Chains A and B, each alone.
Chain A
């Protein structure tokens, strides 16, 4: 019970299974042997393109985006001492949306190759700007105040909505249509570069957050008790804040605003295991599984049309969350 090894191994297997499934299933079904051949660089060209250039990056990006969002949510919930905290609470989504839309309105999005680099960068810049603003509002004498952090996040998100509406009203409708699709979340733009970039963010996130697991455990007893248990409370909170924000910002930059993963997954994992070591690692894996499977649904349910993955996670997540809430009482 106290050793999370088996639980994590099971989740890793599930993640592998989800990736394999998303390689095989789609508007063009591919047999396992053909997929293997394509991965190895053999087989016909069309299959190779579908497996290696389209489905594999997409599945891996899904794994990483879901993992980053869920890990971010788990860290944020530990930081705020609130199991209902969501990574977007701290202004990441609003800031990222503002940054991206500003770039679109300025015409950076249509500049070909440049655009595919500029938009994620603009998104990341917007998210980090918002996070800084939230942090500024929540600092009291150099300390991050849990209560103020929530309020500050709500206010900055509201500000971001206002800026967003303003930009939408001044922008050219033909430019902003693509933005609305992005905002609903999509893995359609998955590339090898995006996978590498998010893999780096996720790895750094895990390396930084996992050693704090014991501190997060102690923080569940309140900041004062954690302090008297020898935990460097302010340090743990600051690292969690920066890491959670960066993870969510990187995920949003590459896949738009996909809701519910960061909120729901840690909640779910917490019911299956105890302790933040298992929770952080388990959330990362389970978030990946959830997103890869959601993406599979998003592109097959109304194939060949694709629905937004954000709509899928919300349609699955909201009822699931309500059920969890009812059971908890």
Chain B
């Protein structure tokens, strides 16, 4: 069954001012989808609608075929993981405590995390190369370290659908690749991953599918090899784009390359 589907969705934050306009999309099991678009194009809004955080003003969001508004909160929380953009922590908590919060949908009001919960949380930290941060106070972590701890928090819920808002922002190159590797691994386990990013090159090499958003409408969607083209990317971002297919067919995207250089140059 399709994990997540949008049917003719309009959504926004104020009455009569829709940010997303007539968006219909399906996200498949075991695939990684990248949301691409300029600032303010509606990527975060789309992720919020998919997470059930922002009810659409028109249209429906289906989680495994059921309207998400009709799925009990706890049940939805067990299926769906969501990582918002950078969040500044105000309260003291160790990284492990934070990751354990990812087990919330599986815990009763008065039960404490079991050994299994703790093992899952530790494995999640391991997965994002943050095992060494376990006992550190999250407030003392660097932006990139915190981002990985929060990602581990989302992983600890063992979601079938994982929504991530700019998961690679503020990460160094090594951890950027590591996080994208995590998404690929999750996809091989059947998880449906959707992430937004400005890093078109990384997205094109990691994702199976791309969704191109411009001013709240879908400009194009589908397998990366078809949707990420010089024309679509330069139209989307308003900068020159150079797309070279690699040996395995994945596109290598370079932005801002002047056409003169691409054509062989003038000296």
Contact = CB atoms under 8 A, between A and B. Distances in A.
A230 B93 contact: no
Given A211-B109, A228-B52, A229-B102, A222 B94 contact: no
A270 B92 contact: yes
Interface of B: 48, 51-53, 73-78, 80-82, 84, 87, 89-94, 97-98, 101-102, 104-105, 107, 109-110, 112-113, 150, 153, 157
13 contacts: A3-B112, A83-B90, A221-B87, A221-B89, A222-B84, A225-B84, A227-B52, A228-B52, A228-B53, A230-B75, A270-B92, A271-B92, A274-B94
Interface in A248-271: 270-271
Interface of A: 2-3, 81-83, 211, 213-214, 217-218, 220-222, 224-225, 227-232, 270-271, 274-275, 277
Contact of A230 (B92, B105, B110): B105
Contacts of B52: 227-228
Contact of A220 (B73, B91, B105, B110): B91
Describe B's contact surface by its main secondary structure: mixed
Given A3-B112, A228-B51, A229-B157, A220 B89 contact: yes
Q: Which of A221, A224, A227, A229 has the most CB of B within 10 A?
A: A229
A225 B102 CA distance: 9
Contact of A221 (B80, B153, B157): B153
Contact of A227 (B53, B81, B109): B53
Given A229-B77, A230-B78, A224 B53 contact: yes
Given A214-B107, A224-B51, A230-B77, 17 more contacts: A2-B113, A3-B112, A211-B110, A213-B109, A214-B109, A220-B91, A221-B101, A221-B153, A224-B48, A227-B73, A228-B80, A229-B105, A230-B104, A270-B91, A270-B92, A274-B92, A274-B93
A281 to B, nearest CB: 12
A228 B77 contact: yes
B69 to A, nearest CB: 13
A218 B102 CA distance: 9
A230 B77 CA distance: 5
Given A229-B104, A231-B73, A220 B157 contact: no
A83 B84 CA distance: 22
B97 A274 contact: yes
A83 B92 CA distance: 10
A230 B94 contact: no
